[in-house]
Amino acid sequence: MEPTSESKTDTVRSYVERVLELQARRRAQLSEGELREIASELGVGDADLVEVESAAAEAYTRGQGHLRYCNYGDAIRELEDACSLAPRNVEHLHALAQAHAARYRQSDEESDLTTAIALCNRTLAISATHEPSFGLLAGLKKSQAKPGLTKKGWLLIAGVAVAGGGIALAMAPPRDEHAPPPSHAASVAEDASDEPGAPLAGSPAGSPAVEKELTLDVEWVGREGLEFTAVQSQHNNYDDSSFYRLAATVKNTGTTEVSELKLKLQMLDAAGEPVGLPESVEAIRSYEAMLRPGDTAGFDQLHRSSHEAASVRMTVSKLDAQPAPKRYPDLVDVPLAWPDGLRPDWDLKVGERSHRVSSGFSTSNFNGSFELRNVGDRVVRGLKIRANFLDAQGKQIAHDETYVVTNQEPPLPGGQSRSFVVLEGIPEGYASYQLQVVSID
C-alpha cells in the first residue's frame, strides 16, 4: 500500500524533529552519514527530502531576517537548524558564520570568533571558490591576530572584508547619530596634516593632494516608479585606504508592490570612468516588508573605495515587483505598550497591514506586516519592538524582538512611516499577539 500524504508528512516531520533534537543535544552539526542513517531508519526517501529542503529554506529565511535586524541569538538558532537540515548548503553555512562574527563584534565572546572561523573553513572545504567566505575569513583572522582590536576596528574589518558578501554596517546595532563617522585612525600617520586638501601621509611625492573627507555626488540611473535620495554620501581617505559610506532612501512612487530590490554601486573617477568593481546593495530583501506604493525603504552601508573616487553611480540590478491592488484594506490599529518613563516624549502609532499563521513541522510560523507612523515631532534614530505571543488565557508562550529603525537606514522624522515584518516560530496554543517598545532613541 502506498503511504498516504498525511503519513509522508508525519515521516518527514519526525525526521526533522529527530535531526534538530540530536543537534541541540550534542551542540554540534550532524554529519551527512548520520543524516542518511536517520533518514534510512525513518524511511525518508529522496522525494521526501524535498520537504526537508523546504524546511531548511524556511529556517534560513527566518535566520536572515533576524540577522538583518541584529537579533543574533535568534539568527544563530534558525541558521543552525538550516545547516543541520542542509549541511552542504554554502549559503546557509556562510550566513551562520556571519551571525557568529556579528555577535563576536558585539560581545567579544572568543567562542563566536572561533566558531565563525571554523564555519568559514567548512564552507570553503565544500566550495573552494566562495568569495564571501574568503573575505569574511580574512577579516576574522585579522581580529584574531590583534586581540586588542577595538569593536570599531572590527567593524571596519568586517565592513571592508566582506562587503562583497553583503555585510557592511548592516551588521551593527543602532549607532549613536551624534558620534563621528567610522574612522581608521590606526592606519593614519600621526604627522598627517588635518587641513582639508592636504596630501595624505604615504602619498607619492609630487602626487595631487587628496582630501581626507569628501561628499560625493550620486548619479541615480534607476527605474520609473522609484525615487532615490542620498541622505549621506561621505568618502574618507587615509594613507593606505579609502572608505565610502552611503545612507540613502528609495521611495516607491509607482503602481507596483516591490518585493525585492538590488542595486549596483559603482565608484567613478573624475573623468566618469569606473574605479574598481561594482558593489551589490540589497535595498529591499525578499523576506522584508513589501514596499507598497508610497512606502520608503532605507539603507546605510560602508564600502572600501579608492583615492581616485570622485562620484558614484547607482543602478538597479534586480527588481521583483507585481501590480498593486487598487485599494488596500484599512490598517488595523495595534496598541503599543511602553516601558515606564519613555512614552511622554514620543508619539508613535502602529497599524497592522496583514498577518498569517502557517503550520510548520514542530511549530507554526507567525508572519505579520506592520506600519510604524511617527506622528510626533521627535526624530526616531533607533527603535526596538518586542512581539509577545499569547495563548487563549493571555499567557505568553513565545516572543520576538525586532529592530524597526536602525543604523542600517536613515532616521525616522515626524510625519513619516516605515513598514516592518515580524517572523517567528510559535508553539501550539497561539491565540493573539501584543507589541511593546523595548528601547528607543
Collect the ranges in the chain with pLDDT lower than 70: 1-36, 44-51, 143-211, 287, 344, 359-363, 407-408
Average pLDDT of the chain to the nearest whole number: 76
* pLDDT attached to residue 195: 40
- pTM of the predicted model as reported, rounded to 2 decimal places: 0.51
Question: Which CATH number is 5-167's, of 3.50.50.60, 1.25.40.10, 2.40.50.140, 3.40.50.20?
Answer: 1.25.40.10
**Which CATH number is associated with domain 210-323?**
2.60.40
What's the DSSP call for residue 291? B
**Confidence (pLDDT) at 304:** 79
Judge if 5-167 and 332-440 fold alike in CATH terms: no
Residue 361: its pLDDT value, please? 52
Nearest to 253, CA basis, from 230, 287, 212, 223: 223
Q: Do the strands 311-323 and 348-359 form a parallel or antiparallel pair, or are they unpaired?
A: unpaired
pLDDT of residue 290: 85
Taking alpha carbons only, the member of 131, 128, 133, 122 closest to residue 32 is 122
What is the distance between the alpha carbons of residues 61 and 372, in angstroms, rounded to a whole number?
23
Helix-, strand-, coil-residue percentages of the chain, each rounded to 5? 30, 35, 35
> What are the residue boundaries of the structural domains of the chain, listed by start?
5-167, 210-323, 332-440
Q: What is the pLDDT of residue 1?
A: 39
Contact 309, 242 (CB under 8 A): yes
> Residue 155: what pLDDT?
39
Pairing of strands 383-390, 336-337: unpaired
Cβ atoms < 10 Å from Cβ of 388:
16
CATH architecture of residue range(s) 332-440: Sandwich (2.60)
- The secondary element (H helix, E strand) that includes residue 61 is helix 46-68
pLDDT digit string, tens, across residues 160-209: 333 233 333 333 333 333 333 333 322 222 333 334 344 443 344 344 44
Q: How far apart are CA 348 and CA 289, in angstroms?
A: 19
Separation of alpha carbons 27 and 15, rounded Å: 18
